[in-house]
Chain A
């Protein structure tokens, strides 16, 4: 039962610096880093000590609350450093990579012949489980709770996002193996969304329902697709997983190896020759961007400009990301910036802002907030870019005053911070929407669970 999804509410933020469809290998990273903060709400418990030799796929830490949930080393090598923050919180585990990579052999499996329990055990043991996330709460899936459906979005609509049709080309076998395995984990359906235009490597897959999606961002957000296909109700759970992580699971099943290699996009207006690169999870930003950046004050983001995390050159590609965006910092003043006509920035109003004149123009946005933080004042603005059947301002306010009943009844189980990235972008009061939603979800997770 395929269902096409088309939305009208939303906004395509068109930026300069789209990645050219050409792939090169990134210069090899000597040190790879895994950041436990990429796995929200997980408290890590170390499985190895500094100085230990690990193979690719070997667990380096596990979830304190659930020792079965293991987090693997993306490469083989030596655990050289553990960086800690306040209260000895683990911030980063650094692995210096061997020149020849060794993999743990998890054994070749045929997902068609396995049952759900076997697949679950295999994914947990091999460290592939963290790729599966769940709604509500937008955290790593709880293996004990069966999902009513599993969603994969293979259409990226975020600004400058890596084109899945390009980066997954030729990975059909891996994707099919992973989808078959996932289909055993739910009594419902595995929903795969592909772009209406273009040929997706996922559109011929079996054991899942394919949906064609079209429209502006956030149509590619898995949250939008869940809302349109099968929204989450109280007490229900759905799982989500990104296509690039499906490839890793597929390869694990087909070869027995945990291979963290992926093709990422290096994009943004501060990148010389933006293009695609082959690299691995946790690769250092330096190895990805070396010699490719413009001079001047820049911000490097692992992920896209709406939901990614800022990184320094010493930082690393985050666990779930398949792109690095680099844009100019905006730490400068602008004379009469609040009243002068604006031609070089994007706006959804026409308040002497002229981006409505040229909808296809590409912009070179910087990180300036273009104004100060204020209380919520303007109304009706978020609804224009927010396709879910939820009142965005009301739910944000409910999160701010932590009214659990209200959050629940307004639809908090259905949302993730990324769903509020566009409302945050257009917000005249410059409120931190994603942070508000994340904190709201954390309160609910703690109180209701």
Chain B
């Protein structure tokens, strides 16, 4: 008897058991179920939610691997020992630091999902496959694992399960997790010491031979917010050889992932494109404010405002947020017209927060969460447009 038959028999014999959803999650991971159509159409297209989510995870893998190299690279650069970017030394540091983040994120998050599935008697949903991969990529590398676990539990329970699970949530779960970390443990999530492994004095004593004062791990945005000179070139920022959250640094890989998601029709090109347009527009506005002389070098906004408008696309987490989080279909606008408005405002507000609030140099997280809240409102007005058209048609008849 093959594995297929064995698993089938277990499923059939335990139909009434409470733990069946947990078993099914593993079963359906191995085998697409033998379920056939029983109402409506008799045939169905090839895609399911697992495949859809899997595409996003695939698109994230290059960012993850790049993040591992970059973590090591930045670490060695910070302690003053130069290594090649694509070296085992760099990769090993990254692997040792990041693999635990991935494992904790998945184990804790899926654990919560399994518990809820068993309590509520529904199947384990695939949403967390993507969330679980996003989370390690958007946190600083040295974040303590217990902190990550607490945040993941909060994010999955409050961000998603209380609303009824995947498909029902209002806020993007990955960003809910990050926002929780950001507001609950701000010193671990911002500043100039958290972005490079070993840079934080709290973890420095764990690393032998670290030279505390030599280490600086500022992000590009952090430096700009403080009006400092940039130590990185545009190509460094585009290719991603800069400090930052694990997966957000390489604009090139994010761009390729975005194109992949658009090509596979999984990600919404409307949202991605309009967010980029929104960011460019806001950037241009700030640039022209500077060039008209309304603001002088003495202003604390000067450095960020005078940053060339298109540089905003390649620094910070903007690109990552737009490609992977703004496009989350559940929390984004659901109508095509609404997606244009939603995306544009995300881009626009991201850059606005970035410039005006140097305490939160990363605007894209807050911008997406804010627009998540407004997405249903945008959709409401788009749908009302359709309703009004129908009413008009009726009135024209009556008149």
Asked if chains A and B come from one complex, the reply is yes
Q: Which residues in A have some Cβ–Cβ distance to B below 8 Å?
A: 13, 15, 159, 231, 233-236, 299, 301, 305-308, 310, 325, 327, 329-339, 342, 345-353, 355, 365-381, 383, 389-391, 393-394, 409-411, 417, 420-421, 424-430, 432-435
Minimum CB distance partner of B3 in chain A? A335
Report chain B residues within 8 Å CB of A393. 334
Report chain A residues within 8 Å CB of B49. 371-372, 374, 377-378, 428-429
The answer to whether B41 and A428 have CB atoms under 8 Å apart is: no
Report chain A residues within 8 Å CB of B334. 379-380, 393-394
The answer to whether B48 and A371 have CB atoms under 8 Å apart is: yes
The answer to whether B28 and A308 have CB atoms under 8 Å apart is: no
Q: Assess A351 versus B55: contact at CB under 8 Å? Given A327-B43, A372-B28, A391-B335.
A: yes
Contact of B243 with A by CB under 8 A: no
The answer to whether A432 and B265 have CB atoms under 8 Å apart is: no
Q: Hey, what's the 0/1 contact readout for B13-46 against A, CB within 8 Å counting as 1?
A: 0000000000000001111111111011111111
Report chain B residues within 8 Å CB of A236. 397
Report chain B residues within 8 Å CB of A342. 46
The answer to whether A13 and B265 have CB atoms under 8 Å apart is: no
Report the minimal beta-carbon distance from A331 to chain B, rounded to whole angstroms.
5
For B394, give its contact among A15, A234, A327, A334 (CB under 8 Å). A234
The answer to whether A390 and B329 have CB atoms under 8 Å apart is: no
The answer to whether A299 and B42 have CB atoms under 8 Å apart is: yes
Q: Assess A353 versus B32: contact at CB under 8 Å? Given A233-B394, A389-B389, A391-B335.
A: no
The answer to whether A349 and B28 have CB atoms under 8 Å apart is: no
The answer to whether A349 and B33 have CB atoms under 8 Å apart is: no
Report chain B residues within 8 Å CB of A352. 51, 55, 264
For A337, give its contact among B32, B43, B44, B268 (CB under 8 Å). B32
Considering only residues 275-319 of chain B, those with a C-beta below 8 Å from chain A are none
Report chain A residues within 8 Å CB of B354. none
Q: How far is the CA of A374 from the CA of B24 in the complex (A)?
A: 14
Q: Which of B39, B44, B45 has the most CB of A within 10 A?
A: B45
Q: How far is the CA of A234 from the CA of B393 in the complex (A)?
A: 10
Report chain A residues within 8 Å CB of B99. none
Counting from the closest, the 3 A-B pairs by CB-CB distance are: A371-B48, A337-B32, A375-B167
Report the minimal beta-carbon distance from B332 to chain A, rounded to whole angstroms.
7
Q: How far is the CA of A347 from the CA of B52 in the complex (A)?
A: 12
Report the minimal beta-carbon distance from A410 to chain B, rounded to whole angstroms.
7
Q: Assess A374 versus B31: contact at CB under 8 Å? Given A231-B393, A409-B387.
A: no
Considering only residues 320-342 of chain B, those with a C-beta below 8 Å from chain A are 329-330, 332, 334-336, 339
Q: List 21 A-B contacts (CB under 8 A).
A: A233-B390, A306-B43, A333-B8, A337-B32, A339-B50, A346-B46, A348-B265, A351-B54, A367-B36, A369-B33, A370-B44, A371-B50, A372-B33, A374-B49, A374-B123, A374-B166, A377-B329, A379-B268, A391-B383, A426-B45, A428-B47
The answer to whether A378 and B52 have CB atoms under 8 Å apart is: yes
The answer to whether A307 and B41 have CB atoms under 8 Å apart is: yes
What is the size, in residues, of chain B's interface with A at 8 Å between Cβ atoms? 61
Minimum CB distance partner of B388 in chain A? A409
Contact of B132 with A by CB under 8 A: no
Q: How far is the CA of A13 from the CA of B29 in the complex (A)?
A: 28
| A-B pairs under 8 A by CB, number | 224
The answer to whether B393 and A370 have CB atoms under 8 Å apart is: no
Q: Which of A355, A365, A377, A434 has the most CB of B within 10 A?
A: A377
Minimum CB distance partner of B50 in chain A? A338
The answer to whether A338 and B28 have CB atoms under 8 Å apart is: yes
The answer to whether A421 and B265 have CB atoms under 8 Å apart is: no
For A306, give its contact among B42, B387, B389 (CB under 8 Å). B42
Q: Assess A425 versus B45: contact at CB under 8 Å? Given A339-B54, A375-B164.
A: yes
Known: A233-B397, A336-B32, A417-B40. 11 other contacts (CB 8 A): A330-B36, A333-B32, A345-B46, A372-B28, A375-B166, A378-B329, A394-B335, A409-B391, A410-B386, A424-B41, A425-B43
Report chain B residues within 8 Å CB of A375. 125, 164-168
Report the minimal beta-carbon distance from B152 to chain A, rounded to whole angstroms.
20
Report chain A residues within 8 Å CB of B37. 367-369
For A389, give its contact among B8, B50, B329, B386 (CB under 8 Å). B386
Report the minimal beta-carbon distance from A158 to chain B, rounded to whole angstroms.
10
Report the minimal beta-carbon distance from A161 to chain B, rounded to whole angstroms.
14
The answer to whether A350 and B40 have CB atoms under 8 Å apart is: no
Report the minimal beta-carbon distance from B25 to chain A, rounded to whole angstroms.
10
The answer to whether B51 and A351 have CB atoms under 8 Å apart is: yes
The answer to whether B40 and A305 have CB atoms under 8 Å apart is: no
Minimum CB distance partner of A347 in chain B? B46
The answer to whether A394 and B383 have CB atoms under 8 Å apart is: yes
Report the minimal beta-carbon distance from B113 to chain A, rounded to whole angstroms.
13
The answer to whether A380 and B54 have CB atoms under 8 Å apart is: no
Q: How far is the CA of A372 from the CA of B32 in the complex (A)?
A: 8
Report the minimal beta-carbon distance from B40 to chain A, rounded to whole angstroms.
4
Minimum CB distance partner of B389 in chain A? A389
Minimum CB distance partner of B384 in chain A? A409
The answer to whether B394 and A367 have CB atoms under 8 Å apart is: no
The answer to whether B28 and A432 have CB atoms under 8 Å apart is: no
Report chain B residues within 8 Å CB of A331. 34, 36
The answer to whether B41 and A351 have CB atoms under 8 Å apart is: no
Report the minimal beta-carbon distance from A424 to chain B, rounded to whole angstroms.
5
Contact of B266 with A by CB under 8 A: yes
Report the minimal beta-carbon distance from A441 to chain B, rounded to whole angstroms.
14
The answer to whether B46 and A409 have CB atoms under 8 Å apart is: no
Q: Which of A349, A381, A435 has the most CB of B within 10 A?
A: A349
Q: How far is the CA of A342 from the CA of B264 in the complex (A)?
A: 13
Report chain B residues within 8 Å CB of A389. 386, 389
Report chain B residues within 8 Å CB of A370. 32, 44-48
Report chain A residues within 8 Å CB of B31. 333-337
Report chain B residues within 8 Å CB of A394. 334-335, 379, 383
Report chain A residues within 8 Å CB of B7. 333
Q: Which of A380, A383, A424 has the most CB of B within 10 A?
A: A380
Q: How far is the CA of A371 from the CA of B379 in the complex (A)?
A: 29
Report chain B residues within 8 Å CB of A409. 387, 390-391
Contact of B381 with A by CB under 8 A: no
Q: How far is the CA of A379 from the CA of B43 in the complex (A)?
A: 21
Report chain A residues within 8 Å CB of B266. 349, 351, 378
Q: Hey, what's the 0/1 contact readout for B153-170 against A, CB within 8 Å counting as 1?
A: 000000000001111100
Q: Which of B4, B7, B36, B47 has the most CB of A within 10 A?
A: B47
The answer to whether A368 and B41 have CB atoms under 8 Å apart is: no
Q: How far is the CA of A315 from the CA of B390 in the complex (A)?
A: 42
Report chain B residues within 8 Å CB of A348. 45, 47, 265
Report chain A residues within 8 Å CB of B88. none
The answer to whether A351 and B264 have CB atoms under 8 Å apart is: yes
Contact of B263 with A by CB under 8 A: yes
Report the minimal beta-carbon distance from B277 to chain A, rounded to whole angstroms.
18
Contact of B67 with A by CB under 8 A: no
Report the minimal beta-carbon distance from B6 to chain A, rounded to whole angstroms.
11
Q: Assess A368 versus B34: contact at CB under 8 Å? Given A231-B393, A353-B47, A375-B164.
A: yes
Report chain A residues within 8 Å CB of B270. 380
